[in-house]
């Protein structure tokens, strides 16, 4: 009996000890949890040196600068496209430079320099490519349009048809504020430049290209490679070039000059480089991520183009179009599976409004695998060019040399000089035509330079003073061409996906710039009259140069 009572008391003791131990463990756990929570709370004081950042709100607010894809997508495989877009938006937030890094912008400093703010002579009426009609001309046109409207039996039917086509109702007036960005761009073209860098419409134009709904897409006729002409609801158009290969893919060194893909990222980079050099002769270009299915295949009215669409074994939507080079099933343009990077270039005014005359460059290549061009065999070739119209007067020769410098900086397989155009017959007759360039942009090799591109500069030993001073400015460490180009390209929407130019390509720009300056110095060592002074009214001190 005593033994049984002892066993019951022992059990009670063990049970009590277990309860006490469990209670102590629970109290210890609660204490630790409260300590950890208090340690993880960021200080709320405004004087705190550690700012509180909400990564979700930061990414979403930053993503507002990403381009719209243009409409709701509700097709199979579009989940992947949405994921690509969301990735791009997040990358925009992640890619933002810190406040400390952005406190000094080399690009902004460059554009504040006197060399980029030279006063222009006041433009006269005949200096503009296009002009608005006078009141009398506008009244006459309105009467004609009213007569045409009266001949239509039902105005409401006409508006309905217009809405079915997808175009916006035209509400443009003589007031510039009512004009779409592409029209303002056309009206801003002058004898000096395609656009004014300070014009707020430039930012509106590139945003418009990156966000407007694509209403139609057809293959552009002519040319050697695949290009599409896309239309927007406000009657604007753009030239689309698709991504054909990765940004880092280098051109085979054994290929001839004409045997390489045109690159969408190079088209964008060409516009930015032209702007950084202060030429402003390349139409604005912007990158965009589009849906191959909903924004090309389903809106095209081009039967030849639509017949080339197919789905690859990897499940990607592809097409190849019809053209002279690289338009075959062996060289398709493919989405991933629907998403495709493209460049969109602003179209120039229609030829019926602004006729253009093409001039073949004297330094054009033979495009032969065996024959050399005349300039490649004659060191004194420039003497002949100087006596040949239109290079025997005005600024046409130094215009061409500007473009040779631009070409050389880009790539050994990037030649614009055979494709230079004057803007209009009217302006060219007065020797006031603007020289602009139709580019086949490639940025093919960063590890190789092509000195022959500089033949116009080397053989003629002539260069604009303003061009030379800007090149010297961009060679200085406080600006540096590669740095300002990196900063400028970061403004393009496709930078959210990946840098438009790799670091080796950016470094190549600095190397090639040094080569250009060395060529000019060599000319100055041999000749006296090398610099064409287009800055007579400005002294060295005004331009920030040493006397």
Strands 463-464 and 531-532: parallel
What b-and-e string marks burial along 383-420, b requiring 16 or more CB atoms within 10 Å of the CB? eebeeeebbeeebbbbbbbbbbbbbbbbbbbbbbbbbb
DSSP 334: E
Is there a binding annotation on residue 22? no
Strands 435-437 and 420-422: antiparallel
Q: Give the C-alpha distances (Å, rounded to integers) separating 297 from 218, 225, 231, 309, 321.
A: 10, 19, 14, 8, 11
The count of other CB atoms within 10 Å of the CB of residue 232 is: 23
Is there a binding annotation on residue 142? no
Nearest-angstrom CA–CA distance, 463 and 325: 36
Of the chain, the end-to-end C-alpha distance in Å amounts to 120
Dmax (CA) for the chain in angstroms is: 134
Nearest-angstrom CA–CA distance, 519 and 516: 5
Is there a binding annotation on residue 347? yes
CA-closest candidate to residue 480, choices 89, 107, 92: 107
DSSP 283: -
- For residue 332, the Cα-to-chain-centroid distance in whole angstroms is 23
DSSP 128: B
Task: Judge contact between 309 and 317, C-beta under 8 A.
Answer: yes
Is there a binding annotation on residue 225? yes
Is there a binding annotation on residue 420? no
Secondary structure class of 432 (helix, strand, coil): coil
Binding-site residue ranges for ATP: 225, 241, 262, 345-348, 426
Binding-site residue ranges for Mn(2+): 262
Binding-site residue ranges: 225, 241, 262, 345-348, 426
């Amino acid at each position: 009996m005593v033994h049984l009572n002892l066993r019951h008391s022992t059990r009670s003791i063990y049970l009590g000890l277990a309860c006490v131990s469990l209670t102590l463990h629970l109290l210890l756990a609660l204490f630790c949890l409260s300590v950890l929570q208090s340690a993880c709370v960021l200080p709320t004081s405004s004087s705190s040196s550690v700012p509180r950042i909400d990564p979700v709100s930061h990414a979403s607010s930053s993503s507002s600068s990403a381009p719209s894809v243009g409409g709701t997508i509700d097709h199979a495989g579009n989940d992947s496209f949405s994921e690509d877009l969301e990735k791009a938006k997040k990358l925009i937030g992640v890619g933002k430079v810190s406040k400390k890094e952005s406190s000094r912008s080399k690009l902004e400093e460059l554009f504040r320099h006197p060399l980029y703010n030279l006063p222009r002579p006041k433009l006269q009426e005949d200096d503009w490519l296009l002009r608005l009609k006078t009141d009398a001309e506008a009244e006459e046109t309105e009467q004609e349009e009213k007569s045409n409207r009266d001949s239509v039996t039902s105005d409401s039917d006409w508006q309905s048809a217009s809405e079915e086509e997808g175009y916006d109702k035209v509400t443009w007036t003589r007031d510039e504020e009512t004009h779409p960005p592409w029209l303002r761009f056309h009206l801003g073209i002058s004898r000096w430049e395609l656009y004014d860098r300070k014009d707020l419409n430039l930012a509106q134009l590139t945003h418009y290209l990156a966000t407007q709904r694509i209403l139609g897409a057809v293959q552009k006729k002519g040319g050697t490679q695949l290009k599409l002409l896309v239309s927007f609801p406000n009657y604007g158009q753009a030239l689309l070039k698709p991504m054909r290969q990765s940004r880092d893919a280098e051109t085979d060194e054994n290929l001839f000059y004409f045997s390489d893909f045109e690159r969408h990222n190079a088209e964008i980079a060409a516009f930015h480089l032209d702007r950084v050099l202060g030429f402003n002769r390349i139409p604005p270009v912007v990158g965009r991520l589009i849906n191959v299915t909903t924004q090309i295949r389903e809106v095209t009215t081009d039967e030849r183009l639509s017949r080339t669409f197919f789905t690859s074994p990897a499940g990607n939507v592809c097409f190849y179009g019809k053209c002279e080079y690289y338009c075959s099933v062996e060289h398709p343009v493919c989405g991933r599976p629907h998403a495709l990077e493209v460049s969109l270039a602003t179209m120039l005014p229609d030829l019926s409004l602004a006729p253009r005359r093409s001039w073949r460059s004297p330094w054009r290549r033979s495009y032969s695998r065996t024959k050399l061009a005349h300039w490649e065999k004659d060191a004194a070739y420039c003497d002949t060019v100087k006596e040949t119209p239109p290079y025997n007067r005005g600024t046409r020769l130094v215009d061409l040399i500007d473009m040779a410098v631009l070409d050389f900086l880009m790539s050994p397989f990037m030649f614009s000089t055979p494709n230079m155009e004057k803007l209009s017959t009217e302006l060219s007759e007065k020797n006031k035509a603007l020289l602009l360039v139709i580019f086949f942009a490639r940025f093919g090799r960063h590890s190789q330079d092509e000195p022959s591109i500089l033949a116009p500069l080397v053989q003629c030993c002539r260069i604009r003073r303003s061009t030379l001073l800007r090149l010297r400015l961009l060679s200085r460490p406080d600006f540096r061409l590669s740095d300002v180009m990196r900063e400028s390209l970061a403004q393009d929407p496709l930078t959210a996906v990946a840098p438009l130019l790799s670091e080796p390509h950016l470094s190549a720009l600095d190397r090639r710039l040094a080569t250009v300056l060395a060529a000019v110095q060599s000319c100055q060592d041999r000749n006296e009259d090398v610099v064409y002074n287009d800055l007579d009214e400005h002294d060295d001190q005004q331009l920030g140069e040493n006397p």
